[in-house]
């Protein structure tokens, strides 16, 4: 079932798609994000509760036309400068934003995973998020008359996550901080999972989340695919890489050099060779 990452991205992600690459500090699908940049995808609506440096890179590379999120930053370091540049100066392309709270985003994914058109929560009340986001409405409890917030279900075209392991049948196993990954995956039309390794059989692990193969469209084996974030039980977070990004992200030129290296060193040929269908792909 495992397919090379460039093929998986080529098959599952298209220009204009709504794409969620989820992870909560842990297990960020960084390698998959880089492959999206390499394949030059455009006009994506990127979704994530906590967009961090790989989203800064996707935005700086011009892949996104919109970001749906609840907290954007470089955790433990500071701001995302490519994100700021796109929001405040439309560079390299304008970036529309749709902002929620974590509670709102989490419940939007839950509704999406549950086949419901909306979610109800106690939230947003009195905040300026309401006036700046038409997707936050109020709903009245039919039993108590209480007013609560309603948010629409979130159903990405594609959700991409990174997990520790998959078995040969395509069942996926992740553990440690598992965040919102199960809901993000189950809310999506298509699911791509990069994993550290494929094993014959998944040895049960305490705290595990298992995503049955039935909800997974492709598994790609990418050891280290979450670096510089971490994979519980496999490798630690590279904190210096997050700090180092700050200087790169601050400067359009430094970012340009970084981008050239990412797309050049691996070579555009890699993706085009193994991605025979250019339909719907950007330059």
Partner 1 sequence: MTTLTWTSDEIMTVTAARSLRDGMSCFVGIGLPSTAANVASRTHAPDLWMIYESGTLGASPDRLPLSIGDGILAETADTVVSVPEVFNYWLQAGRIDVGFLGAAQIDRYGNINTTVIGDYDDPKVRLPGAGGAPEIAASCREVIVIMRHSRRAFVDKVDFITSVGHGAGPGDRERLGLTGAGPVRIITDLGVLEPDPITRELTLVGVHPGVEVADVRAATGWDLRVAEDPRRTPEPSGAELSVLRSLTGTART
Contacts of 81-89 spanning 24+ positions with Cβ under 8 A:
81/56, 81/246, 81/249, 81/250, 81/251, 82/56, 82/57, 82/249, 82/255, 83/51, 83/55, 83/56, 83/59, 85/60, 85/252, 86/59, 86/60
Tell me: does residue 208 bind a second copy (CB under 8 A). Answer: yes
Tell me: does residue 143 bind a second copy (CB under 8 A). Answer: yes
User: Taking the complex as a whole, how short is the minimal distance between the CB of residue 12 and partner 1, in angstroms?
Assistant: 18
User: Taking the complex as a whole, how short is the minimal distance between the CB of residue 208 and a second copy, in angstroms?
Assistant: 6
DSSP per-residue string spanning 220-232: EE-TTTTTTSBBT
User: Taking the complex as a whole, how short is the minimal distance between the CB of residue 145 and a second copy, in angstroms?
Assistant: 9
Tell me: does residue 102 bind a second copy (CB under 8 A). Answer: no
Please state, in angstroms and as integers, the Cα–Cα distance from residue 39 to each residue in 23, 140, 181, 237, following that order.
Answer: 22, 46, 24, 26
Considering beta carbons, is residue 120 or 221 the nearer one to a second copy? 120
> Which one of a second copy, partner 1, none is in contact with 258 (Cβ closer than 5 to 8 A by kind)?
none
Please state, in angstroms and as integers, the Cα–Cα distance from residue 265 to each residue in 115, 255, 275, following that order.
Answer: 42, 15, 18
User: Taking the complex as a whole, how short is the minimal distance between the CB of residue 83 and partner 1, in angstroms?
Assistant: 7
User: Taking the complex as a whole, how short is the minimal distance between the CB of residue 131 and a second copy, in angstroms?
Assistant: 16
Considering beta carbons, is residue 5 or 106 the nearer one to partner 1? 106
- Is the separation of the CB atoms in 242 and 74 below 8 Å? yes
Tell me: does residue 247 bind a second copy (CB under 8 A). Answer: no
Considering beta carbons, is residue 208 or 272 the nearer one to a second copy? 208
Tell me: does residue 213 bind a second copy (CB under 8 A). Answer: no
Distance between CA atoms of 77 and 27, rounded to whole angstroms?
18
- Per-residue burial over 191-230, b = 16 or more CB atoms within 10 Å of its CB, e = otherwise: bbbbbbebeeebeebeebbbbebebbbbbbbbeebbbbbb
Run of H or E residues at 47: strand 44-48
Q: Residues interacting with partner 1, by CB under 8 A?
A: 24-26, 49-50, 69-73, 75-76, 79, 83-84, 87-88, 99-103, 106-107, 109-110, 113-116, 121-129, 132, 146-148, 171, 176-180, 182-183, 186, 207, 209-210, 212, 214-215, 230, 232, 236-237, 239
Closest by alpha carbon to 68, among 26, 14, 120, 17?
Answer: 17
Considering beta carbons, is residue 88 or 265 the nearer one to partner 1? 88
Near a second copy in 165-184, by CB under 8 A: none
Tell me: does residue 212 bind a second copy (CB under 8 A). Answer: no
The tokens of 27 are what?
Answer: 């297990």
Binding mask 110-129 for a second copy (x = CB under 8 A): -----xxxx-xxx-------
Residues that bind a second copy (CB under 8 A): 115-118, 120-122, 135, 137-139, 141-144, 146, 148, 150, 152, 204-208
């Amino acid at each position: 079932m495992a397919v090379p990452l460039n093929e998986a991205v080529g098959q599952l992600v298209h220009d204009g798609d709504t794409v969620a690459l989820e992870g909560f500090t842990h297990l960020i699908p960084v390698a998959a994000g880089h492959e999206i940049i390499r394949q030059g995808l455009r006009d994506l609506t990127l979704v994530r509760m906590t967009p961090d440096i790989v989203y800064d890179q996707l935005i700086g590379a011009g892949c996104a036309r919109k970001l749906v999120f609840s907290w954007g930053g470089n955790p433990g370091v500071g701001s995302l400068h490519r994100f700021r540049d796109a929001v405040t100066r439309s560079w390299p392309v304008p970036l529309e934003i749709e902002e929620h709270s974590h509670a709102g985003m989490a419940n939007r994914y839950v509704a999406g995973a549950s086949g419901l058109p909306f979610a109800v929560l106690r939230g947003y009340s009195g905040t300026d998020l309401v006036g700046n986001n038409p997707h936050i409405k109020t709903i009245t409890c039919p039993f108590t008359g209480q007013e609560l917030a309603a948010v629409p279900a979130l159903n990405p075209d594609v959700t991409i996550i990174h997990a520790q392991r998959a078995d040969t049948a395509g069942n996926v196993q992740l553990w440690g901080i598992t965040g919102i990954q199960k809901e993000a995956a189950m809310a999506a039309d298509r699911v791509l999972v990069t994993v550290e390794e494929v094993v014959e059989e998944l040895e049960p692990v305490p705290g595990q989340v298992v995503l049955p193969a039935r909800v997974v469209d492709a598994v790609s084996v990418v050891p280290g695919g979450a670096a510089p974030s971490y994979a519980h039980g496999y490798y630690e977070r590279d904190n210096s890489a997050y700090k180092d990004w700050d200087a790169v992200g601050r400067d359009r030129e430094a970012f340009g050099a970084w981008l050239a290296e990412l797309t050049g060193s691996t070579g555009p040929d890699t993706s085009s060779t193994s991605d025979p269908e250019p339909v719907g792909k950007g330059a």
